[in-house]
Homo-oligomer: A and B are copies of this chain.
């Protein structure tokens, strides 16, 4: 790609949108300039543009994103076939096993939920399509990392901030790589309260009809009712079954 085929004004604007997050819903011009590394004048122009287009509100001091911004992500969820194909299978599975079932793909070091059928909530955080979790300590993340070449997986782990969410979280890259090898060999991953105490999950890879892993499916359950050691016995077959049924449906 040539230098002139890159619209840096657009790239800067996207950076500004991403500056909004978790703890930072209202940002001043300087806040944005600082967190994006853009010049204050440039950040201001991007923010005023967002506001002019209705993607942000401006009270003269702080900018905040408006629901219109959801159009951007929605373009993906509604346009991509995978979420639509997977959803009814998740619904059925979730009802059958009385636990939440989800599908996700990898984006960098994170797992992104693209579809979900939830039962009574067990996690403290509320997962929905678009939600993200660090790949290294999520069952679907382990499966997706295990599906890639070892050096790429290792490189992603090195880019990750490997923190301990619970005393059981694996954070050592060496140990994680060993675990990935095990996951690759056995064809599924179980997470036993590594992300949140009281929560277990199991995930399997979802292959398309050419055999490429394109997503992961999982079931999450409260550790109190289903200990980690039982996850596979209970849920591996249903998950594998769905992955098998979906496979021929996933052409591109």
A22 interfacial contact with B, CB 8 Å: yes
CB-CB contacts below 8 Å: A54-86 with B: 55, 64-81, 84
State whether A112 and B78 are in contact (beta carbons under 8 Å apart), knowing that A1-B52, A14-B55 are contacts in the complex: no
**Among A4-12, A145-153, A162-170, which stretch is in contact with chain B?**
A4-12
Q: Which of B8, B23, B72, B114 contacts A72 (CB 8 A)?
A: B72
A53 interfacial contact with B, CB 8 Å: yes
Q: Which of B1, B13, B64, B88 contacts A48 (CB 8 A)?
A: B1
A131 interfacial contact with B, CB 8 Å: yes
The tally of residues in A whose CB lies under 8 Å from a CB in B reads 69
- Which of A23, A55, A72 counts the most chain B CB atoms within 10 A? A72
A44 interfacial contact with B, CB 8 Å: yes
Residues of B within 8 A of A50 (CB): 10
Q: Return A186 CB to nearest CB of chain B, in Å.
A: 26
Q: Chain B: which residue is nearest A68 at the CB level?
A: B107
A211 interfacial contact with B, CB 8 Å: no
A184 interfacial contact with B, CB 8 Å: no
Q: Chain B: which residue is nearest A51 at the CB level?
A: B1
Give the interface of A toward B (CB within 8 A): 1, 4-14, 17-25, 44-46, 48-50, 52-53, 55, 64-81, 84, 87-88, 91, 95, 105, 107-108, 112, 114, 116-118, 120-121, 126, 128-132
